[in-house]
């Protein structure tokens, strides 16, 4: 009895899902039998990147296997025979992808030909549409869109790293809100409850004259990074829902930016009236982001339709892993 593993490795956490290999399921994939979570990853080119990548795969796999043992499943001692990893920051055909492939094979104890490592947007696309045409628009800590046409050709827009290109993401929403709050503090913009709410969320006193300097130091402190900004997005969303005009403007700009990602993919692939699947925590949970995204999408891609994913990124990774047992994989 063999196991296949599908990993969804994001910036905040990693999920490993296990399935039986070739027990009658589609494309060599059997039923899902276990799942476990581990820490998130960072870009492999970062100093801590390889260590975090290895730890994320190792720990999430251990926890997924622990569930099998706890449930006394016969597969608890089965050998892993193939795996696919969708990870944040992996670009197709790059040295980083080759590095991730080698690291994953080493950590998981698999031959290189039994491992595929690709961007998490590619596993999300596979999970959402199988092998069919469509576009996924992902807005979580970061943002990206990727699509496929009927011939299997793929194209992505966005996702060029949080310092350069995170429009429509929770990170950008939080950062935009904080930048606006500083303009409010020094008189360049009218003060609204948004500043007080954001600063209170960071345990800063809105009435303290030294608070702006503390904020400046806080956002560059080790450990803040994109996740620190992203944690503030729900605050901006809540203020926008109460009618705060500045918060609403931040959410509107980011929703329109997400629609522009989808439109860019559709234009590049020649997709007419495509199916568009929004995914990720921000677009799922922040209603003041979803509303302008939906409006802007209808205007920029007439006839497009929002659809629910057939499966998530982990399911897409499992499908890729199963394919390694029956033939070569793209992505």
The region, left, alpha or beta by phi > 0 then psi within -120 to 50, assigned to residue 274 is beta
Q: Considering only CA atoms, which of 36, 45, 46, 33 is closest in space to residue 9?
A: 36
**pLDDT given at position 70:** 57
pTM: 0.86
pLDDT score, position 26: 47
Q: Could you read off the pLDDT of 212-246 as tens digits, one per residue?
A: 999 999 999 988 999 899 999 999 999 999 999 99
Query: Which residues of the chain does CATH 3.30.420.40 include?
Result: 2-130+311-323, 131-309
- Running along the chain, 331 residues long, what does each successive block of 10 average in pLDDT? 91 91 59 91 88 96 83 68 93 92 97 95 95 95 95 94 91 97 95 96 95 96 92 98 97 98 98 96 96 97 96 94 75 58
Return the closest-CA partner of residue 58 out of 93, 127, 106: 106
CB contact at 8 A, 137 and 120: no
Query: What was the pLDDT predicted at 201?
Result: 97
Residue 69: CB atoms within 10 Å: 12
Q: Which residues contact 1 (CB under 8 A, 6 or more apart)?
A: 20, 21, 74, 75, 78
So what's the pLDDT on residue 328?
Answer: 52
Domain 131-309 in CATH 3.30.420.40: yes
Q: What is the pLDDT of residue 24?
A: 47
User: Is domain 2-130+311-323 given the CATH code 3.30.420.40 in the classification?
Assistant: yes
């Amino acid at each position: 009895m063999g196991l296949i593993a599908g990993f969804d490795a994001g910036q905040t956490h990693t999920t490993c899902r296990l399935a039986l290999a070739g027990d009658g399921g589609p494309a060599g994939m059997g039923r899902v039998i276990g799942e476990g979570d581990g820490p998130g990853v960072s870009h492999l080119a970062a100093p801590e990147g390889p260590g975090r990548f290895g730890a994320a795969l190792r720990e999430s796999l251990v926890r997924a296997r622990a569930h099998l043992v706890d449930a006394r499943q016969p597969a608890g001692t089965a050998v892993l025979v193939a795996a696919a990893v969708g990870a944040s920051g992996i670009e197709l055909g790059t040295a980083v992808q080759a590095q991730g492939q080698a690291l994953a094979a080493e950590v998981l104890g698999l031959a290189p030909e039994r491992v595929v490592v690709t961007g998490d947007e590619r596993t999300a696309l596979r999970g959402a549409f199988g092998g069919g045409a469509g576009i996924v628009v992902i807005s979580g800590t970061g943002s990206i869109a990727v699509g496929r046409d009927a011939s299997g050709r793929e194209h992505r827009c966005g996702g060029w790293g949080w310092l350069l290109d995170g429009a429509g993401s929770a990170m950008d929403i939080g950062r935009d809100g904080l930048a606006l709050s500083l303009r409010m503090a020094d008189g360049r913009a009218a003060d609204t409850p948004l500043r007080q709410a954001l600063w209170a969320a960071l345990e800063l006193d809105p009435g303290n004259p030294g608070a702006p300097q503390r904020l400046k130091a806080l956002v560059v402190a080790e450990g803040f990074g994109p996740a620190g900004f992203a944690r503030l997005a729900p605050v901006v969303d809540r203020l926008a829902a109460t009618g705060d005009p500045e918060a609403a403007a931040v959410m509107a700009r980011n929703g329109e930016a997400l629609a522009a990602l989808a439109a860019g993919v559709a234009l590049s692939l020649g997709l007419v009236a495509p199916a568009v699947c929004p995914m990720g925590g921000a677009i799922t949970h922040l209603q003041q982001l979803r509303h302008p995204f939906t409006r802007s999408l209808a205007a920029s891609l007439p006839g497009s339709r929002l659809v629910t994913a057939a499966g998530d990124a982990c399911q897409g990774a499992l499908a890729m892993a199963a394919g390694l047992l029956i033939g070569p994989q793209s992505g």
